[in-house]
Amino acid sequence: MKKILLLLICCQIIAQETLNETIVFESANPFSYEEVITDLDNQEKQTVTGILGFPADFDAEKKYPLIVGVAGSLNWGPHHLKYLEMYRSLGFATFQLQSFDSRDVQSTVGSQVEVTSAMMILDSYLALETLSTHPNIDINKAGITGWSLGGAVSLYSAWMPLINSINKGEFRFAAHLPIYPACLAYPHPEESMIFSQAPVHILIGELDDWVPASACTNLLGRLNESGLPHNIDITIYEDAHHSFDREMELTIMEHGYTLGDCFFPMNDEGTLFLSEFWNIPINSPTMQKLALLTCAGRGPTMGGNDEAREQSFKFAADFFQKNLMD
C-alpha cells in the first residue's frame, strides 16, 4: 500500500512539473520608453524568469494559445492567479512574468522607479521571443494582460514605436487586455499615435483615483480625433475603485499615488515631456518624481467590487476566446 501511495505521489509531482515550467531568458533594465527605442543595446542586462503553465489535460502533441500575465506595483496577488487559472481551464497556456522577483523587488507603490513599464514591456516581448521556439506554444495566438502597472504594459506594448524597437517587430501580441492601466502618456504629435491593429480593450473602474479612467478616455479621444486607425476600446465599471477584482474591503494606500491630473505628451522616440507647453523631458527617476509633484497626490483607494469583479472575469474569458481561439 505504501509503495502504491508513493508511486501516486511521484506521478503527481511529475505531472505538475509537466504542467509548469520555469522559463529563463535575458532582458535588460531600460528606465524609459526612450531607452528602449533609442538606446536598447546599451542597457544593463537582466536575467528574467517566468512560469509557463498548461491546462490540466495537457497534450504533448498540441500547440496552445498563450496569455502572458503582468502584475502591478504590488507584484503578484491571489486575484491575478485566479485569472491565469481561469485561462488554463479554458484551454490556454499562461506565462506568469516575474519582472519584480527577477529584480529582487517586491513593491514599487511609493516610488514607481525600481521596476518600470519600459522594463516590463521589454521583458514581455523577450519572453514572447523565447517562447516562440517552445513546441507546445502557438506564438501566433499570444495575448497579453496586466493589472495597474502591468495594465500599462499591456496597453503600451501595442504602441508601434516600441514594437518595432524590440525584436525588429518580428514578434507581436494578437490581443491586449489592460486592466486598470495607467494611461499617463499620449503620443504627440498626432502622427505618433500609431498602435498595433490587434484588439486592445481597457477595463477600469469609474471611481479609480490611483489610475483614473479619465486619462484612458482622454487617450482614446485623442486617438479618435487623430483619424489614425486603431483597435482600442474601453469598459468603465460603475462604482468600482482600483483593484475592483480583488476580494478585499476598500483600503486607502497611504503611500500610493493619486494620478488624477497626470497626462504627459510623448514623442515617437518615447521621450515624455512635462507638457506640450513645457518641453521638459521627464525620462529619469528624478525628473519623473518631480513631474509627479506637479499633478499627483497620495492616498488612493483600492478594493473589490463584487459586480465589477464578476463582469471583468467574464469579459476577460470572452475576449481572449474570441481573439485567440476563434
CATH number assigned to the domain comprising residue 58: 3.40.50.1820
Sign (positive/negative) of CA torsion 79, 83, 89, 93? negative
9 within domain boundaries = no
Q: What is the pLDDT of residue 15?
A: 43
Q: What is the pLDDT of residue 326?
A: 73
Q: How many domains does the chain have?
A: 1
12 within domain boundaries = no
Phi-psi label, residue 180: left if phi above 0, alpha if psi -120 to 50, beta otherwise: left
Per the CB < 8 A criterion, the answer to whether 50 and 26 are in contact is no
7 within domain boundaries = no
| Residue whose grid cell is 504590488 | 74
302 within domain boundaries = yes
Per residue of the chain (326 residues), give pLDDT as tens.
544 444 333 334 344 445 899 999 999 999 999 999 999 999 999 999 999 999 999 999 999 999 999 999 999 999 999 999 999 999 999 999 999 999 999 999 988 889 999 999 999 999 999 999 999 999 999 999 999 999 999 999 999 999 999 988 899 999 999 999 999 999 998 888 999 999 999 999 999 999 999 999 999 999 999 999 999 999 999 999 999 999 999 999 999 999 998 999 999 999 999 998 888 999 999 999 999 999 999 999 999 999 999 999 999 999 999 999 97
289 within domain boundaries = yes
Per the CB < 8 A criterion, the answer to whether 138 and 65 are in contact is yes
Q: Enter the pTM of the model.
A: 0.93
Strands (E), 29-114: 45-53, 64-70, 93-98
One DSSP character per residue, 228-283 reads ----EEEEEETT--BTTTSSS--EE-TTSEE-TT--EEE-TT--BBS-SSS--B--
36 within domain boundaries = yes
3-state helix vs strand vs coil in the chain, percent to 5? 35, 25, 40
Q: What is the pLDDT of residue 18?
A: 54
Domain that holds residue 283: 21-325
Q: What is the pLDDT of residue 89?
A: 98
Q: What is the pLDDT of residue 278?
A: 87
10 within domain boundaries = no
Where do runs of H (alpha helix) occur along 90-202?
99-102, 117-131, 149-156, 160-165
